[in-house]
Structure 1
């Protein structure tokens, strides 16, 4: 219902969509060839951004296809038990999916298993964000929780990027609470529906003032809406060896600058 407004400050998640627009090429800018598995592909938004040299394979869980996603996965399967041989893919994408899997560590382990040596695993996940896609919303990770995967699997974390700063997160959550209240009032045909115009004006004001304040009070990682992470598989072909001491963990602020 609000989709036509998502690129205007009238939309509750306008600031989030602006941030999403800045990173919509991620991870497509990094994947220029090879076989790619998109676990939990949903609407397959990534596919349109990829180079034509990339062999794209979309996979989704049968039950989630009934949640209104328009994409048609190539394979219906469980991300906790991928139907592929070891080292099948050059890249595996886990974009906004691990939080919806009952055993996310098992799904991450499977992603590592089917990724080739020095292949990439792209993980995107919400952090401070409302419950969604019920009944399949189970987990959230802190930055330290994401970093811990280096200690549990044969991977190196090469990039870790927070999404949004604290002001943008606070505004987005406030707007979503207002929008939920307005929607509930309409659904229940409650007298509170008379407050809908005030709610809409508050959302507009929050978005505009939030954008201005966010440009002044910038921060990196204090209370982001979510994270993007890139892991490189570091297991030699013979299955032995240890991680490189050259590993560099990166964090990006909203302007794309790196801080180590």
Structure 2
């Protein structure tokens, strides 16, 4: 990663040894903190098990996971679009992610791609390219939204079910190791309501903050997890996935 010595946190920060959503509103909007917290929970749980060796951070933006994976990998290569909304000085190579990746076959032990799949015009081609550049038994770690508002328009093209992810993985020669729903009906409702109130004058932002804070606190309790599990199979906010090259 270029300029790693000057890296600073963006979307995530470390708090008590785990990733948390950054409370800096320049990095994470008030109405998106719940979604970021839910994604952080998944990476806290699985990143240490599956990030290893040479890592490709695909669609890296400001490289928000660098602090989380840097101690597990031997090196990181950061790639992003040439016209990314999250341009940074850490990018090693600019390329069109809808085209073949500019790397040799079996180069990386790990590929990480967060909130990128929905922005790809031909996601199946990109997943095949990920499989090509992975070493045997290498892992592809990613998350993607499902019931979530349009973002980075007009470059927001798809939403995927777990069945679509499984099919694309199998077609590319990758096997599913982890495929978790992120959030459930209550989290989706809290996200929608907070995004609505966040645009209202005067009391909108305090109400948004209250909804987000309450939903985050509940999601971290045993009761909140049980409520989430009852609805997330049919109404997830998104998916967290680990695929392994066969």
**Alpha-carbon spacing, 1:218–1:25, altered in 2? closer, same or farther (3 Å):** closer
Query: What is residue 95 of structure 1 aligned with on the other side?
Result: 114
Point out the more displaced range, 123-132 or 201-210.
201-210
Query: What is residue 59 of structure 1 aligned with on the other side?
Result: 79
Residue by residue, what CA displacement relative to the aligned partner does 1:225-260 show, whole Å, maximum 9, x if unpaired?
A: 2111111111xxxxxxxxxxxxxxxxxxxxxxxxxx
Return the alpha-carbon distance in structure 1 between the equivalents of residues 214 and 67 of structure 2. 33
Contact 2:39 2:143 in 1 (8 A): no
Q: Secondary structure at the match of 1:197?
A: coil
Return the alpha-carbon distance in structure 1 between the equivalents of residues 124 and 45 of structure 2. 23
Return the alpha-carbon distance in structure 2 between the equivalents of residues 3 and 71 of structure 1. 22
**Alpha-carbon spacing, 1:84–1:68, altered in 2? closer, same or farther (3 Å):** closer
Return the alpha-carbon distance in structure 2 between the equivalents of residues 32 and 18 of structure 1. 20
Point out the more displaced range, 76-85 or 209-218.
209-218
Number of residue pairs matched?
Answer: 216
Q: For the pair shown, which has the larger CA radius of gyration, 1 or 2? A: 1
Residue by residue, what CA displacement relative to the aligned partner does 1:189-209 show, whole Å, maximum 9, x if unpaired?
A: xxxxxxx22323432443455
Query: What is residue 109 of structure 1 aligned with on the other side?
Result: 128
- Match 1:221 to one of 216, 222, 233: 233
Q: Secondary structure at the match of 1:176?
A: helix
Counterparts in 2 of 1:193-232, with a 5 A limit? Answer: 196-207=201-212, 210=215, 212=218, 215=224, 217-219=227-229, 220-232=232-244
Return the alpha-carbon distance in structure 2 between the equivalents of residues 94 and 5 of structure 1. 23
Point out the more displaced range, 213-222 or 147-156.
213-222
Return the alpha-carbon distance in structure 1 between the equivalents of residues 192 and 89 of structure 2. 28
TM-score (norm 2): 0.77
Task: State the Cα RMSD in Å.
Answer: 2.8
Contact 2:42 2:240 in 1 (8 A): no
Counterparts in 2 of 1:41-190, with a 5 A limit? Answer: 41-50=60-69, 51=71, 53-64=73-84, 67-79=85-97, 80-179=99-198, 181-182=199-200
Return the alpha-carbon distance in structure 1 between the equivalents of residues 191 and 115 of structure 2. 18
Unpaired runs of 5+ residues, structure 2, are 1-21
Return the alpha-carbon distance in structure 2 between the equivalents of residues 104 and 147 of structure 1. 13
Return the alpha-carbon distance in structure 2 between the equivalents of residues 138 and 92 of structure 1. 22
Return the alpha-carbon distance in structure 2 between the equivalents of residues 147 and 170 of structure 1. 26
The alpha-carbon deviation at position 217 of structure 1 amounts to 3.0
Contact 2:188 2:236 in 1 (8 A): yes
TM-score (norm 1): 0.73
Unpaired runs of 5+ residues, structure 1, are 183-195, 235-260
**Alpha-carbon spacing, 1:163–1:71, altered in 2? closer, same or farther (3 Å):** farther
The alpha-carbon deviation at position 108 of structure 1 amounts to 0.8
Return the alpha-carbon distance in structure 2 between the equivalents of residues 60 and 46 of structure 1. 14
**Alpha-carbon spacing, 1:145–1:52, altered in 2? closer, same or farther (3 Å):** closer
